[in-house]
Amino acid sequence: MISIVVPIKQVPDMERVKFDKEKGTVDRSSAPGEINPFDLNALEAAVQIKEKLGATVTTVSMGPPQAEAALRDALSRGADRGILLVDRAFAGADTWATSYTLASAIQRLGQTDLIVCGEKTVDGDTGQVGPEIAEWLDIPHVAYVSEIKNVGEKMVVVCDMEGDRYLMESRFPLLITVTKDINSPRLPSFSDKLKARKAEIEKCTAEELSAVADASRFGLKGSPTRLNKVIVPSEEGRKGEIFRGNPEETALRLADALKEGGLSENVK
């Protein structure tokens, strides 16, 4: 039976989340957390493989204790196991430390044939963590997969990159990151939801993970990225203005207004 791992992240509801303009950080208490939407596509892809060929689907998440809710949601949508990497030592991680920690957790699980990630998270938006996990584990990866053609001895997928489509084939173990086009994530049934609410979520601390990893690479201290400044752009509303006069004059004034507003540099 194939063993599949789906790393997931709990992200704030991006429509509701507020930004702390002073500190330049996301105020995570301002919106409830949920599974990163791209990770739902990853999970759906994994569950479809499970339904077709038989597989175990394990979801792994690194996050605060509240991230348990995201793992429960994943269980209700067809995952078999949920593991939460939860420790203060993991906090403040950039993509480098995050991918190292997740890769270590996957290594600790033992034999894994396929890792399916969402193409990126909606809060970080880097798209780096998936491919970096593959690099840490020294396995091949295909990013931006929009279609799975075949899963057999090898895996054949279609990936969309920079406007082109590629047909790719790989041996296992393999990591893929998937786009939103790959599927429509299912809704959980209510009874599965209830079961997931009571299910056990396995926890893994930094100390436990140290058996297979270098703890100095976790969290903030393992992160080479330094954040100097974050600017939250302010929203500007519409500014209506009516120009009157002869067409030539008004056209010139319109051009000036566009330049002033930074909307166009090359109006002639």
Chain positions contacting another protein, by CB under 8 A = 13, 15-16, 34-35, 37, 73, 184, 186-191, 193-194, 197, 242
Of 69 and 155, nearer to another protein (C-beta) is 69
Residue closer to another protein, measured from CB, 189 or 264: 189
Q: 224: which 2 tokens?
A: 């080479």
Tokens read off for 234 = 């302010």
For residues 27 and 169, which CB has a smaller minimum distance to another protein in the complex? 27
CB of 118 to another protein, least distance (A): 14
Helix (H, G, I), strand (E, B), or coil: what is residue 93?
coil
Considering beta carbons, is residue 184 or 264 the nearer one to another protein? 184
DSSP tag of 63:
S
Q: Is 77 left (phi over 0), alpha (psi -120 to 50) or beta?
A: alpha
Cβ 35 to another protein shortest distance, Å = 8
Query: Could you count the other beta carbons within 10 Å of the beta carbon of residue 107?
Result: 14
Cα gap 76→134, rounded to integer Å:
27
168 forms beta bridges with 157
Min separation Cβ 190 and another protein, Å? 4
Q: How far is the CB of 103 from another protein (least distance, A)?
A: 28
Distance from C-alpha of 28 to C-alpha of 9, rounded to nearest angstrom: 14
* Buried b / exposed e along 72-82 (16+ C-beta atoms within 10 A): bbbbbbbbbbb
Least separation in angstroms between CB 75 and another protein: 13
How far is residue 45 from each of residues 32, 48, 77, measured CA to CA in Å?
25, 5, 11
Q: Which is nearer to another protein, 73 or 113 (CB)?
A: 73
Which is nearer to another protein, 35 or 55 (by Cβ)? 35
Are 122 and 14 in contact by the 8 Å Cβ rule? The answer is: yes
Q: Give dist(CA 25, CA 130) in Å, integer.
A: 24
Q: What's the min distance (Å) between Cβ of 28 and another protein?
A: 16
